[in-house]
């Protein structure tokens, strides 16, 4: 399952999701007790057993049963927006990733930054996985970094001029978020640590603006 509300449109214009089915899913599900609904007769379709079909059985059941019961269908206009966005998705992801890597490298070298979380960095323990599973090492435009304390993190987030203070991600515009005072403000300091979002953490969704302009904006905010 994948959210299409992020990079797919490019401007955060629509909310939706997609289900991508693997080629050999029938072999994985057939006779597997974990997937009883696919191996037992569906009385609402005359005893149909989905795992007996040579078709994409998971998405078929979603369409025949779940969509019927829950009604979670995207609007035609939202679907059109997703299709339009897909035409430029590969180009945008490349630029998001190139800029994010340059920004991560800048932050990693900055004396006021204590930690940078970006799998595209060679120093990151996830770097081998990015090289193995992501095409050309394109690790997206999402990263986070930690500064001295919560107050400094809030000041950085409030001081940028190009980065917009918004909580969504995957947009063509660059976004900066201080989770501890926005998306996770209901948590105590202890709970923030347990959730992996300490008060000193700042999250970035790097957009398509000029890379050097974004670096300069962060440099000014960090002081």
Q: Is the pTM of this model over 0.95?
A: no
Q: What is the pLDDT of residues 135-158, one digit of tens each?
A: 888 999 999 999 999 999 999 999
Q: What percent of the chain has pLDDT over 70?
A: 100
- The domain ranges of the chain are 2-86, 89-222
Task: Please indicate whether the domains covering 2-86 and 89-222 agree at the CATH topology level.
Answer: no
> What is 2-86's CATH number?
3.40.640.10
Mean pLDDT of 190-207: 95
Least confident span in 44-58, 129-143, 151-165, 202-216 = 44-58
Question: Predicted confidence band at 123 (pLDDT cuts at 50, 70, 90)?
Answer: very high
Question: Predicted confidence band at 185 (pLDDT cuts at 50, 70, 90)?
Answer: very high
On whether the 89-222 domain is CATH 3.40.50.300, my answer is: no
- Which H, E and C letters describe the chain, residue by residue? CEECCCCCCCCCCCCCEECCCCCCHHHHHCCCHHHHHHHCCEHHHCCECHHHCCCCHHHHHHHHHHHHHHCCCCCHHHHHHHHHHHCCHHHHHHHHHHHHHHHHHHHHCCCCCCEEECCCCCCCCCHHHHHHHCHHHCCCCEEEEECCCHHHHHHHHHHCCCCEECCCCCCCCCEEECHHHCCCCCCCHHHHHHHCCCCCEEEEECCCCCHHHHHHHHHHHHC
């Amino acid at each position: 399952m994948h959210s299409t509300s992020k990079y797919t449109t490019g401007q955060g214009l629509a909310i939706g999701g997609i289900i991508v089915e693997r080629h050999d899913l029938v072999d994985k599900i057939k006779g597997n007790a974990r997937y009883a609904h696919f191996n037992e007769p569906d009385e609402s379709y005359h005893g149909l057993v989905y795992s007996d079909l040579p078709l994409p059985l998971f998405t078929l059941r979603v369409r025949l049963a779940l969509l019927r019961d829950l009604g979670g269908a995207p609007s035609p206009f939202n679907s059109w927006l997703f299709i339009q966005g897909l035409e430029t998705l590969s180009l945008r992801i490349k630029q998001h990733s190139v800029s994010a890597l340059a920004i991560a490298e800048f932050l990693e070298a900055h004396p006021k930054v204590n930690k940078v979380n970006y799998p595209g960095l060679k120093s990151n323990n996830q770097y081998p996985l990015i090289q193995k599973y992501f095409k050309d090492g394109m690790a997206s435009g999402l990263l986070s970094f930690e500064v001295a304390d919560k107050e400094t993190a809030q000041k950085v987030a409030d001081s940028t001029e190009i980065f917009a203070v918004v909580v969504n991600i995957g947009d063509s515009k660059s976004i900066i978020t201080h989770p501890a005072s926005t998306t996770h403000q209901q948590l105590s300091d202890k709970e923030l640590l347990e959730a992996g979002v300490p008060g000193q953490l700042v999250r970035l969704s790097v957009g398509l603006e000029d890379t050097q302009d974004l670096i300069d904006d962060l440099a000014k905010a960090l002081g």
